[in-house]
Each structure stands twice: as C-alpha cells, then as structure tokens.
C-alpha cells in the first residue's frame, strides 16, 4: 500500500488527501513508513544569530534543514 511519508495516509495517484498536496516520488513510501526526520547536527548557541555567509562552514545537513520548508 502506497502511503504518504508525512502522515502515513494511503494515497491515490501521488495525492495525499490528508496533507492536501501532490507528493514527489521520494515522499511516497509503503505501509505507513514515515520519512526520517532527524537532525544530525545541533547548532551551538553562538551560531544561531549568524547570517548565511557566516554559516557557510556549517555541515550541509543542518543548512538543508534550515532552508527547506516542504511542509
């Protein structure tokens, strides 16, 4: 059974009725699997107010997490 990676609802033709959106292939999983939503890197307090230029040295996973708003 194809299910939404965000809410685990069964989907029909890439559309999740609960989330009310079309899902890209990577967000279509099986039998209620959820997308992994872990943070590999916890920023130091001193980094929280730095601008993007200053954060260029921060690991890519965290930068991706901060800039994506796919929900």
Residues near Zn ion, by CB under 5 A: 4, 6-7, 9, 16, 18-19
Supply the minimum distance, in Å, between the C-beta of residue 23 and Zn ion: 7
Supply the minimum distance, in Å, between the C-beta of residue 8 and Zn ion: 7
Residue 25 CA to residue 62 CA, distance in Å, equals 23
**Smallest Cα–Cα separation from 66: which of 46, 41, 35?**
41
Q: Which is nearer to Zn ion, 20 or 44 (CB)?
A: 20
- Residue pointed to by tokens 């943070």: 39
Q: Which is nearer to Zn ion, 21 or 58 (CB)?
A: 21
């Amino acid at each position: 059974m194809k299910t939404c990676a965000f809410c685990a609802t069964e989907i029909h033709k890439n559309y999740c009725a609960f989330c009310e959106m079309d899902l890209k292939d990577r967000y279509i999983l099986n039998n209620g699997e959820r997308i992994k939503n872990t943070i590999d890197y916890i920023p130091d307090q001193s980094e929280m107010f730095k601008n993007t230029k200053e954060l260029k040295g921060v690991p890519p996973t965290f930068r991706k997490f901060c800039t994506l708003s796919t929900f």
